[in-house]
Amino acid sequence: MNTRIQGGGRRTRAVRRTTSLVAVLALAGVTAAACGGSDDASGTPAADATPVAGGKLTYATIQEPGCLDPGYDPSTVTGVINRNIFDSLVSQTATGETKPWLATSWTVSPDGKTYRFSLRDGVRFHDGSAFDATAVKATFDHAVDPATKSLYAGALLSAYQETRVIDPRTAEVVLERPDATFLQSVGTPSLGIQSPASLRRSAEELCTKPVGSGAFTFVSWTKNRDLVLAKNTAYQWAPDAASHDGPAYLDGITFQFISDDTARFGALTSGQVQVVNNVPAANIRTLKANNSLQYLRADSPGLTFSLLLNPTREPLSDVRVRRALLRAVNLDELVTSVYFGEYRRAWSLLSPTTIGYDKSLEGTWKVDQALANRLLDEAGWTERDGDGFRTKDGKRLTVVWRTGAQLDRDSRGVVAQGVQADAKKVGIDLQYISEDVGTFSQHIFAADLDIWGGSYQRPDGDILRFAFASDQGITKGGGNLYGLNDATLDRLLNEASTTTDTAVRTKNWAEAQQYIIDNALAVPLTVGANLVGASEKVHGLRFEQSSNLAFFDTWLDPTK
Amino acid sequence: MTTPKLAIPRPEAADAEPSPATRRPPGSARRWLSRPPGRPRRLPWRRAGRSGRDNRRIGPGVAISALVVALVCLAAIWPGLLARADPNAVEPVDALLGPSGAHWFGTDQLGRDVYSRVVHGARVSLFIGVGATGIALFLGCLVGMLAATCGRLVDEILMRITDVLMSFPGLLLSLLVVAVLGPSSTNAAIAIGLSGAPGFARLVRAEALVIRQAGYVRTAVTFGAGRARVHLRHVLPNAFAPLLVLALLSVGAAIIAGSSLSFLGLGPRVPTAEWGSMLAQGKDFLTISWAMAVFPGLAITVTVIAINIVGRDLQRRSEGRHPSGTF
Amino acid sequence: MTSTARWLARRLALSVLVVVGAATVAFGALQVVPGDPVHVMMGGAAPSPEVYQQTRHELGYDRPLPVRYGRFLGQLLRGDLGRSYQLHRPVAEVIGSQLWPTVQLALAGFGLAFVVAAALAVATAGRRSGWRRLSSAAELVMISTPGFWVGVLLLTAFSFRLQLFPVAGGDSLDGLVLPAVTLALGLIGVFAQVMREGLERALEQPFVLSARARGSGETAVRLRHALRHALIPMVTLAGWIVGTLLGGAVLVETIFSREGLGRITATAIAGRDLPLVTGVAVVAATIFTLLNIAVDLLYRVIDPRMKEVIR
């Protein structure tokens, strides 16, 4: 655990595995396997133990991938799994520095549009073929090929023009425009290098039988059960960011898919698996009290679990009603109770570990139901109906919050009921509708909802642009659910995304966060965290800079 | 070794049974079908006739069960009478308390009073149970009667349609219906009712075919009663009566099916108290606060048991059997 | 052609209709269900307009409904179930890989329920003992308790607390125990009642009397002579049992994190995975109709009088 990398505020514009609408729909789903670099070091075992090779690790995870083609699938769990199967050209250290991996060195042209990579020799894919410049070209071309229908990797290469194979050991990537995030994108598992022979296979085979050059080879994947990886014994090209060279310590990793919270935690305590993610907050006390288990946590960067309010239609088009909702919720009490103190309440739309977080918002909008009542009175919702809800012109003050039934994780449905009860106290009829995912997506795309609740993961404040800029409409692959067209936000967020001046960015993001709270465009609820439980046997488990769990340095203590 | 029993009069085996492949747990239904045709069956409530005192005696088990059913009905109609506390009053500081004088069944993770929620939950659970059965019964009678009366072709078509619906496992059919209609207690009732309808349709059809051959129906036809009139006045009521008891029994099954939908996250909207969703939520806290799940679970089991005992007792009475049974 | 052969041919032809009907119902339901299958297929990610259009085109959603239905039927009749939208594999392969775990579970659950119920019925039929009361009470509780609740309790007690069985999944036999027990408990009550009733009826038959007259012991009479006859009504239940097992599999597979047809179908319905849902409908309907034909055939063979009744 000593090898765990500290991330958090030091991260620069690292391109995190964020999935546009996946987050919109998946609410907790995306948060699932991801976790920001954490400063919390509870439960880490002794640092001086010597790693021992051998043993298989079973990791129970809440999510299951849809497809293992890194060029196609956007989900977090796919990234966690693929990180073990695929290597990237570059690696990222804890501090966000870019280090060599499959590329031993690289140069950037003065105009910032051409990257020339010198490639490592002796790397072999799992199918036996040798890694060279054609593999780089094949991988990147695959990601941007429309036929791939990439849901994430293609977006990472939005500036990509072509790859030139200079010679087998040299590849040159040409961009249409400079892109400061390019190297970081290249370092994500989504752009992990695939075997060119493998890429010639059908989309179906790419999804189900991935072939990379990573420290683990793919063995099998049984839907709804598990996915098995085995050690690649020939592995000699560990990334510079890792703490050891040569093959991985583990003989194999089994990702077991257990979506039920109780069962997943039970699998850990009964010794059936060695690591689990998304430990229910209610079980943390049990986890801490158990000496044969360790507890690791990492706050998630990006958008906190928040309610995005729809200001484009009645009744939330009235800022007074939105403000009333913001001030009606007694978050401190609710969050402490539901999450047993393991999650913090949120003060801003950005989580505290996000670059650009505005700390000055903390404590500025405490619960004030008297104020909420006053605001609603002012807004004309003065009458009450038989159920105690406010009405205006005979119409009840009703707001609808929709979510997908299969997506309710992390006790968010419980938080929703708490919010609902507080809203009722000031006379707002908040309807929380948990529906089938297909129906929910229909409502999302028709913007037929007043409240969307969920979180996104991203390292910096640019996520605000994704969620609020007018050119980020949902049909264009963005996250602006309600088609907002707010000049102030557009100016602040677009400027922040194009400038290279960090100070301007920080200032703009801070202003945007304040603007969002001032205008009650959102009600931030909780700061998400990934709560990981592991057996005491497990050593060297670390959170990546990308905040996923990494297993390359992980080893099992045979004495326990 | 007990004494061999040689002479308990029993109806003979199902010679006249029209479709042996009926997909209902047959005990009750088959017994009805296996009765010799020719005499209108006695309705469950007309039990006072022939068998006299024996038949009117009510065992303690049945009495208690009837009381439970009455209590659940009372809770469904007038929950405020049994539980004063607001079932939706959130009090986070009181979350996950065990049973106590203030909260008889403890509190849930939002500090709501579980006792009050169990009492108020009776309404939705009972609504789903009764509603689903009502829908199944109505559709079943409609389709069954049409099949029995409108000729071979209609019969064939309708029966193949019921075959199609029956070939879907019940829960999956319900999931499909909820996907189409959206989750709510009404839609849950529709979904469960639809998956139960084919079974009733087959029974009604079978029953109607048997009754049609009965002497009194033939007599009516002989005396010139119209086809529709005969079916409405004579066949339907007699085909319907035995189904009522079966329907009562299926209310219990529908309550369980409703709770299963809630367990899969497709039950009524929050914060509506409903036993199935309370149970589903409570199960995550079983090791921390057992009361949260155990009481809604008990509510379901006890209610369904009571309904079953009362239903079976009525069944025995309506068949003129000795009602003492087991309980 | 003998009458039985003609009968069989007719039934088989009708069963094709039922299977196509089931597929059509599933197809139709997924047409009226809200939600764009392309959006849902993307796992919820908002695709670029180009990717969206291309996917729509590949799945045929840019064509009118009758054309799509025609293509669907054509494929189905050629035996092609299509490719799952969400799993990116041929439906036949998905069902093939998920069928066995469910069949395993269903067989284990059924077998267990059958054995226990038969034992209960033999021990208690026609007797008014305390055991009978106890058995009836237990059956009643089993029938009246939701299966998922039983599963959760078993899991908590035997996996979390006592750690006797694995919490999730597993091919091993011990991984099958709790799921099978959960599934069986829902069936035992029904089975026991049906068998007991059949047994009681059989015990009144003359052959039982003559067996007793020959001096056979009561247990021998019940096991050797009466039980066989008591099983006949069980055959009647075959279709109901299959439906209950498959439906129960959804819950049991969810609780015990097992792979299988039930869980994958529930996910497919939520995910608007049309080919997979219709594929499962086809498989379920095929099993169902074949089973019914087998049952009716058995009746015809056992009891020729049934020919009149079973058309």
A·B CB contacts under 8 A: 75
Q: Please check whether residue A89 is in contact with residue A186, taking contact to mean a CB–CB distance below 8 angstroms.
A: yes
Residues of chain C positioned with their CB less than 8 A from the CB of B170: 243-244, 247
Say whether B175 and C250 touch across the interface (CB within 8 A): yes
Say whether A151 and C47 touch across the interface (CB within 8 A): yes
C240 at B interface, C-beta within 8 A: yes
ipTM over 0.90: no
B153 at C interface, C-beta within 8 A: no
Contacts with C208 (C-beta within 8 Å, 6 or more apart), sequence order: B4, C202, C221, C225, C226
The strand pair at A429-435 and A398-404 is best described as: parallel
Contacts with C39 (C-beta within 8 Å, 6 or more apart), sequence order: A441, A442, A445, C46, C47, C52
Residues 264-303 of C with CB under 8 A from B: 265-266, 269-270, 277, 280-281, 284-285, 288-289, 292, 295-296, 299
The one-character DSSP state at C155 is: I
pLDDT at B37 over 70: no
Say whether B26 and C236 touch across the interface (CB within 8 A): yes
Minimum distance, in Å, between the CA of residue B291 and any CA atom of chain A: 15
Say whether B283 and C152 touch across the interface (CB within 8 A): yes
pLDDT band at B41 (very low <50, low <70, confident <90, very high): very low
Q: pLDDT tens, C246-299?
A: 888 889 998 888 888 988 888 888 888 889 999 999 998 898 888 888 888 877
pLDDT given at position C266: 86
Say whether A437 and C271 touch across the interface (CB within 8 A): yes
C139 at A interface, C-beta within 8 A: no
Minimum distance, in Å, between the CA of residue C51 and any CA atom of chain A: 6
Q: Which chains touch A (3 or more CB pairs under 8 A)?
A: B, C
**Nearest one of B284, B267, B249, B288 to B187, comparing CA atoms:** B267
For the record, the structure tokens of B327 come out as: 């309980």
Provide, rounded to the nearest whole percent, the portion of chain C with pLDDT above 90.
Answer: 20
Minimum distance, in Å, between the CA of residue A267 and any CA atom of chain C: 5
B213 at C interface, C-beta within 8 A: no
Interface test with B, best of A265, A331, A417 (most B CBs within 10 A): A417
A269 at B interface, C-beta within 8 A: no
Q: pLDDT tens, C57-79?
A: 888 888 889 999 999 999 998 98
Q: Which structural domains are found in chain C, ordered by start?
A: 92-302 (1.10.3720.10)
Q: Please check whether residue A556 is in contact with residue A250, taking contact to mean a CB–CB distance below 8 angstroms.
A: yes
Q: How far is Cα A535 from Cα A550, in angstroms, rounded to an integer? A: 16
User: Does C173 or B305 have the greater pLDDT score?
Assistant: B305
Taking any CB pair shorter than 8 Å as contact, residues of chain B touching chain A are: 88-90, 92-93, 95, 109-111, 178-179, 182-183, 264-266, 269-271, 281, 283-288
Q: Where in chain A do CATH 3.10.105.10 domains reside?
A: 303-527
pLDDT band at B211 (very low <50, low <70, confident <90, very high): confident
Note the CATH number of domain A14-299+530-556.
3.40.190.10
User: Does B90 or A19 have the greater pLDDT score?
Assistant: B90
Q: How far is Cα A236 from Cα A241, in angstroms, rounded to an integer? A: 14
The shortest CB-CB distance from A438 to any of C43, C83, C272 is to C272
pLDDT given at position B11: 34
Q: Where in chain A do CATH 3.40.190.10 domains reside?
A: 14-299+530-556
Say whether A437 and C37 touch across the interface (CB within 8 A): no
The length of chain C in residues reads 311
Q: How far is Cα C59 from Cα C85, in angstroms, rounded to an integer? A: 9
Across A224-245, b (16+ Cβ under 10 Å) vs e yields bbbbbbbbbeebebbbebbeee
pLDDT given at position C302: 66
A·C CB contacts under 8 A: 159
pLDDT given at position C31: 87
pLDDT band at C146 (very low <50, low <70, confident <90, very high): very high
Q: Please check whether residue B92 is in contact with residue A340, taking contact to mean a CB–CB distance below 8 angstroms.
A: no
Minimum distance, in Å, between the CA of residue B252 and any CA atom of chain C: 7
Q: pLDDT tens, B220-244?
A: 777 777 777 777 777 777 777 778 8
- Tell me the CB-side half-sphere exposure of residue B74, using CA atoms within 13 A: 10
The one-character DSSP state at A90 is: E
For the record, the structure tokens of A19 come out as: 């999935």
* Mean pLDDT, chain A cut into blocks of 10 residues (560 residues total): 33 33 35 34 51 93 90 86 96 78 94 92 95 96 86 79 95 86 84 95 91 96 91 94 91 93 89 91 89 89 92 94 96 91 93 89 95 96 93 94 81 91 94 84 87 83 86 75 93 81 88 96 91 93 79 90
Q: pLDDT tens, B164-200?
A: 888 888 888 888 888 888 888 899 999 999 988 998 8
Closest residue, chain B, to A422 (C-alpha): B90
Say whether C237 and B26 touch across the interface (CB within 8 A): yes
Interface test with B, best of A278, A290, A414, A429 (most B CBs within 10 A): A414
Q: pLDDT tens, B254-277?
A: 999 999 988 887 888 878 889 998
The one-character DSSP state at A130 is: B
Q: Which residue carries 């367990």 as its tokens?
A: B263
The shortest CB-CB distance from B169 to any of C25, C132, C243 is to C243
C88 at A interface, C-beta within 8 A: yes
For the record, the structure tokens of B298 come out as: 């008990």
pLDDT given at position B2: 33
Say whether A337 and B92 touch across the interface (CB within 8 A): yes
Helix (H), strand (E), coil (C) string for C37-95: HHHHHCCCCCCCHHHHHHHHHHHCCCCCHHHHHHHHHHHHHCCCCCECCCCCCEHHHHH
For the record, the structure tokens of A189 come out as: 């598992």
Say whether A434 and B111 touch across the interface (CB within 8 A): no
Minimum distance, in Å, between the CA of residue A435 and any CA atom of chain B: 6
Closest residue, chain B, to A423 (C-alpha): B90
B·C CB contacts under 8 A: 200
Q: In angstroms, what CA-CA distances link C169 with A376, A457, A476, B280, C277?
A: 52, 31, 40, 21, 23
CATH architecture label of A303-527: Roll (3.10)
pLDDT given at position A170: 96
Closest residue, chain A, to C32 (C-alpha): A439
Cite the beta strand spans of A192-320 per DSSP E.
216-222, 226-231, 252-257, 275-276, 293-299, 303-309
Say whether C144 and B304 touch across the interface (CB within 8 A): yes
